[in-house]
Each structure stands twice: as C-alpha cells, then as structure tokens.
Structure 1
Amino acid sequence: MDIHKIITLEQPCVTFPQALYRILAEGHTWIEWNRDGTRFRYNDPDRLMRELQSLGFKAQDSASLSKNFNDYGFKRLSDARKSRYDPWRTNWTVFAHQFFLLHDRESSDAIQRRRIRRPRNQIKKASPASDECIW
C-alpha cells in the first residue's frame, strides 16, 4: 500500500505509536521489526514521514519526527541521520520502547505522550552505536 491510502473510520490512528504500529504491520521493506519483536528499524525517514502524514500526522521534517519519538519515550539505538548520503538505503535507524512490541499491540496502544522539560544548557549525549551491535 502506498501513500494514498483509504483510512477507514473503524480503525483511526489516534496516537503516534498506533500509527507507527500500523505502518510496521503492513510489511514494508524499508521499516521492519527485529527477530524477537522488541525493536524496529527504518532506512527511509522521508517515506516514514509521508506514511505518517497519510494517517493524519503533521510530521513535516526530521525534527518533528524525532520530537514524536522522544515525546512517546522511544529510545534511539542507532542513528543513520549522521551518516553520509546513502543512495542505496543501507543505513538504518533503530528504535525501541519497553511497551512497543510486535506481539503485544495492546501494550503499545497504552503508550502515552510524555513531556520532559530539560534545562537549555544540558549537554547532549554522544551518538548511539552502530547497527551491528544492536540489531
């Protein structure tokens, strides 16, 4: 299924995790679960934003996508954004959340948005490790 999807009223995506779960359930090659279903990865952030937009979310750029992941408590385990231009999409960004699991949709539906106010002068952490050690 592509960007122009028909969304039924029976299954609206209310939250970011629900929309993300729906995209993962469609079985794309650019976004997938790991073997045990505790992590997922994607290699096309632009496609992810288009898919989220088709489900009614206002993800316009990578900053708003990152904000959604952070607001819902997802942990970035690797980051392909800092790699060089990748025309073959071989670099993956990996995320995990303790309640976002392949075989437990009910717990992922219960994930709530959280807001954490951080001091402006807080030092950022170093970038995550490479995909080989986490996937």
Structure 2
Amino acid sequence: MDIYKLITLNQPYATFPQALYKILSEGHPWIEWNKDGTKIRYNDPDRLMRELQALGFKAQDSASLSKNFNDYGFKRLSDARKSRYDPWRSNWTVFAHQNFLREHPESANGIQRRRSRRPRSQSKKSSPCSDDSSW
C-alpha cells in the first residue's frame, strides 16, 4: 500500500488542501485569505501543524509543512522563516495555488499531490573492473 494513502487513511479531510480549507473556514486570526481570496497567509506555523495533526495529518516540523505545500503545487510568495525571530508574529508566510480559491471550495477537491519519481537505472554501469567473466 502507498505510504501517502496510509497517512490520510480514515480521516474526514483526505487531502492536505481539503484540511487547509477547513482550517481557513474556521476563521482563525493566524491564518487568512487575502482580500480577493486567491492567496493564503499564516504567521504561526506551529499552530498550523497542530491543527493539521488534529485532522490526522503527520506534520511534524516546518520541513514537512513546506513539503505538503510543495507536493500539492502551492507557490510560496513570501517566507517569514527568512526574517529574524518575530515574537509578535507580525511576519507572514504567503502561498497561492490557481485552484485553491476562497469562493470555490470544491476546487480544493481537485488538487492532486504531485509526486516526481526519479528514474531508476535499469542496469548497472559497467566498468573495466566489473566484468563477471573474470571470476
């Protein structure tokens, strides 16, 4: 069974975009839509990870959070991690996706995980020393 299916098995929000849309719809002050509903921003990645964990996702650190955004094709428009420590959480990280829109919640259902697979070589590269006939 695919490990990514195991992570989201038996949870009401089967994909990261669906869970993210649910969190946004709850109206938290630390995550919000922009005025036209085409971008999202958050200033508390730890809180976002806790909310995702409560929905059954295994987000453990900022790297896994970024990986989810990247795997689903979100584009990072700004990054609060590159700024100095901000105890007042005034720096925001902004993401956008062409199909993740406030006015069209059903479009989040169509966003699929992008998985790039590295091509595996079918045969080993031979070298002068790797000739089996010498054994």
Length-normalised TM-score, structure 2: 0.78
**Which stretches of structure 1, 4 residues or longer, exceed 4 Å deviation after superposition?**
none
1:36 aligns with 2:36: yes
Aligned to 2:116: 116
Give the Å deviation of 1:116: 2.8
Classify the secondary structure of the residue corresponding to 1:81: helix
Counting only pairs closer than 5 Å after superposition, residues 1-135 of structure 1 correspond to structure 2 as 12-117=12-117
Aligned to 2:122: none
Give the Å deviation of 1:95: 0.2
**Root-mean-square deviation over aligned CA pairs:** 1.8
| Cα distance in 1 between the residues matched to 2:88 and 2:65 | 22
CA deviation string 1:73-103 (max 9, x = no partner): 0000000011111000000000000000001
Give the Å deviation of 1:108: 1.0
Could you say which structure has the higher helix fraction? 2
CA deviation string 1:50-95 (max 9, x = no partner): 0000000000000100100000000000000111110000000000
Letter in structure 1 aligned against 2:41: R
Look at both structures and tell me which one has the larger radius of gyration over its CA atoms. 2
Classify the secondary structure of the residue corresponding to 2:94: strand
Classify the secondary structure of the residue corresponding to 1:17: helix
| Cα distance in 2 between the residues matched to 1:19 and 1:107 | 13
- Structure 1: 5+ residue stretches without partners: 1-8, 119-135
| Cα distance in 2 between the residues matched to 1:115 and 1:79 | 23
| Cα distance in 2 between the residues matched to 1:35 and 1:61 | 29
CA deviation string 1:112-135 (max 9, x = no partner): 0001357xxxxxxxxxxxxxxxxx
- Structure 2: 5+ residue stretches without partners: 1-9, 119-135
| Cα distance in 1 between the residues matched to 2:26 and 2:108 | 16
